[in-house]
Each structure stands twice: as structure tokens, then as C-alpha cells.
Amino acid sequence: MNSPVRHYVGGRFDTSGVPFPLIDPVSGAATGEVPAAPKELVDQAVQAAKDALHGPWSTWSPAQRSAVLHRIADGIEQRFEEFVAAECADTGKPRELASTIDIPRAIANFRSYADLTAGRSEQSWHTPTPDGRGALNYTVRKPLGVVAVISPWNLPLLLLTWKVAPALAMGNTVVAKPSELTPSTACLLAEVIADTELPAGVFNLVHGGGAGEAGQWLTEHPSVDAIAFTGESRTGSTIMRAAAAHLTPVSFELGGKNAGLVFADADFEQAVQGTLRSAFTHSGQVCLCTERLYVERSIFDAFAQALAEGAKALTGYGPMVSAAHRDKVLGFLDKAAADGQVLAGGKAPKFEDERDGGFWVEPTVLTGLPEDHPAVRDEIFGPVVHLAPFDTEEEALNLVNASPYGLAATVWTGDLSRAHRVAPALDVGIAWVNTWNLRDLRTPFGGVKASGIGREGGDHSLDFFSEPMNVCVKL
């Protein structure tokens, strides 16, 4: 059994609300319960955050905030194995992923924003005036206030801390709601924070679903001053409508139907291995994963065969996060099998053990579908990639950019001039050349079109979570 999942409101842990089961994606068995926060508790969490804005927290210097962020990172490190176990239990992902990516990156999020905020400077100008004495203009950054942070189930702690760390760094208070499917590491984070000197109410945590539950009550709350959300584009639209009522600022990292381009001059084996990684990491349940791959026609058949063989040979992959998500992915694959060709996978695997009760889908390679087919057009968010040939660079760009999404893309080529020509022409927020998911936490992260609003990372996050104010002093 997992450790009990609890709310954390105003510096106190709470288990109020009707519980719902926590399900192990590997076996489908219930492993615990999660309390669904009643509306009154969500209101209390927002009020606690609002009250904390005007308490001792408001007097903390950037150096003090930086120090407490480092202490939170220390606390995660000290309980590293607990965090790894909880993340694996909730998501079903292999330990290798959680221990090398999810938990280390959560620690890095706190440390990087701690360092950025401690060394950040603001702008100033000496302005001439008619009397010749001049004026001094300078900017100060003030916190937005109460920030609602709503994080998804695929990278639960990583994406929660990606927002919580910069929000706290700039002096905001936070009410966080993780996905109801993966709440455990958020609760562990609350326990770590409770052991620091962070004032009560600065960080609050509530659990529950979206529509008609904690997520809706939080995003519609008139005392919430900003909303940071990662998740589906349709959910983002719903939250944006709620935010419009109070003109609440939003930061959205939404869905993607990411494309890859493989040119004939690419390192063939590097492109195959890179695509296996970009398509099937965490069984495709990463917003940056490749779901569409366009390969230059002269190498298309060989590449498709190599990718299919690689997909069939994959072992150690994890399940879908839930039965509903597995069924959604398999629904896409049923349509694809009827209308195109399945080169590898395409169904739920059989293990002849407890995993047969879980939510598994084989790594799948498809081809032969038209560009308007649901499996090519819509986000699947599973271990599925569709291959199609192209003949010219112009055609390749048109195929990638025709999508309503625009989060990320990969370009595989041995031609440096082509790389610099093609990558900036892609309608995406992130383009990788001859690699995938190589990240520097200081760089802008986010998408265009239906893939999001705004940018996260480095100063981009610190700017969102603060309001610039100009002070003009006549000399």
C-alpha cells in the first residue's frame, strides 16, 4: 500500500472529502484511496494562500526565498527512494525513468529557480528632464498573488515543481492540484515543505478531479490571481473560459501532435534510435513525444522496416496510466488497422501474469494513413507513431506545419545548412536537430497554436509569475 494521500491546507494535513480509489496501472489493482476535496476545503486553501501573502512571507527577501527552495530540494533528495517508488506506483513507469528523469529534474527545478532568483537584477534608466536635473526610473517585480497550479499525470512531480518552484521564487503563494490519477508525489512534496520554515499557507495542496470538482472550483475562484496549467488542449480551453470571468492571467502548456523529419542524408542508425526514443519513452505519454514521422522517400522503406523491428524489440516499457486512456489509444489503433497498415504492435500485449489486468499497449508503428485520419491528425498520447514519405523539403515543411498543434519537432539531417534552414521554419515552440528532449532549463519552453500560451523556463517563468512595476523618482 502507498502512504496515505492527504490535502495540505494552511500548514495542516487534512483527509476530508469522499475518497476514491488509487489504481496501479501495471495490474489494475486498487492500492489506496484519495480524498476528493470538498468545495469548502478548496475555498479554505485559497483563503490560506491569500492570507499568507500578507504575512511574514511578504517580507522575505529573494535570498531567503532562494534558501528555502534549496532546502526543499534537499528534502526531496533525502527522501529520493520514497519519491521514486511513489511515482512508479502512480504512473506505472519503469524505475529507470523515475530515478533518472522525474525525481532528479524536480530537484533541479527547485535548485535552478533558487539560483536564478537569488542573482536576478532589474532594469533602471536615467531620464533627462527639462530642468536638467533628470529622473531615475527603475523596475521592481511584485508577486501576482495566489497562483493555482494544475499539473498532469504523465510527469507528476516534474511538471508540478516546474511551476511551483518559480511561483514561490517570485514571492507568490500556491494552491496546487495534481491529477487525481497521480497524487502521491505531490503529497510527499507537501510533507517535505512542511518540514521547512516556509510559512503556513504559502503552499497548499488539494486533490480531486476537474469538472464539478477541485479543478473547476480552483480555476473559477475569484481570489485566484493566476493559473498555470499543463494538460489537454480542450481542458485548457475550459480553464481559459473560467479565467476570462476575472481576467486571470494564464500560462498553458497543452497538447501536441509532434512531427519528426528524416532526410536521406541523416545518420540512419542515429535517426532510427532517436525516433524509437522520441516515440516510445514513457510509452508515448510525454507531451514532447513524436507521433508523426515524415521520411524522405528514397530511404522510406528501409527506415520503416528498421523502426518497426526496433519497436518489436522494445522491452521494459510501461502501461497507459488508466483503463480509460488505454481504451482511447486502442480505439485509435482499431481505426488505423482498418484504414492503413500496422508495421508493429497495434494491440494490448498478453503477459500471462498480473499485468494482464493492467493498462498496456504495445509500441506501435503505423503507415499508409491519409493526413486527415484521426490517428494522424489527433493527439493519441500513447506508444504510437505514423510514418509517411515526402519528396521535397517544401513538402516536408508543409506536412509538419499543417497540424493544429505546434509544440515540438525533430529534424534528422547531416546537412548543417538544411538544419538551420528547416528548424526555424517549423511552426513549433521547440525544434531539435539530430537529438530529442535535450533540455536546458533556462531556455523557453512551450508551444504555439493549440499547444499552449506563454513560455516556461528560466526568466520566462519568473516573468510570468511576477508583475513588473515602474518607479520614477524626480531628482
Q: Please name the helix (run of DSSP H) or strand (run of DSSP E) that holds residue 470, with its range, or none.
A: strand 466-474
The answer to the question of residue 1 being in a domain is no
Same domain, yes or no, for 239 and 289? no
> Do 236 and 281 belong together in one domain?
no
Q: What DSSP designation does 424 have? A: G
Residue 268's domain comprises 258-440
d(CA 447, CA 190): 30
What's the mean pLDDT in 389-411? Answer: 98
Does 385 map to a domain? Answer: yes
Rg (CA), the chain: 23
Residue 443: all three cell numbers together? 531556455
Total structural domains in the chain?
2
pLDDT of 388 strictly over 60: yes
111 & 236 share domain: yes
The CA–CA distances, whole Å, from 440 to 3, 162, 168, 430 equal 33, 13, 21, 12
* pLDDT tens-digit readout, 131-168: 999 999 999 999 999 999 999 999 999 999 999 999 99
Residues 329, 425, single domain; the answer is yes
Distance of CA 79 to the CA centre of its chain: 23
Share of the chain above pLDDT 70, in %: 100
Q: Is 147 helix (H, G, I), strand (E, B) or coil?
A: strand
Position 239, amino acid: I
In a domain, 446, yes or no: no
Question: Virtual CA dihedral for 210, 215, 217, 222, nearest 10 degrees?
Answer: -140
- Residue 54 counted as domain residue: yes
At 369-381, the pLDDT tens digits run: 999 999 999 999 9
Are residues 191 and 48 part of one domain?
Answer: yes
Kindly report the backbone phi and psi dihedral angles of residue 360, in degrees, each rounded to the nearest multiple of 5, phi listed first. Answer: -95, 145
Same domain, 212 and 153: yes
- 375 and 311, same structural domain? yes
Residue 438 cell numbers, joined:
535535450
User: Do 296 and 426 reside in the same domain of the chain?
Assistant: yes
**Residue 248 shares a structural domain with residue 266:** no
The phi, psi pair for 250, rounded to 5°, reads -130, 145
> 365 and 462: one domain?
no
What is the pTM (predicted TM-score) of this model? 0.96
For cell 494513413, what's the residue?
A: 369
pLDDT of residue 319: 98
Mean predicted lDDT score pLDDT of the chain: 97
Active site residues: 253, 287
- What string of DSSP letters covers 3-53? PPP-EEETTEEE--S-EEEEE-TTT--EEEEEEPPPHHHHHHHHHHHHHHH
| pLDDT given at position 1 | 45
Distance, C-alpha 121 to centroid of its chain: 28
Predicted local confidence at residue 119, as pLDDT: 82
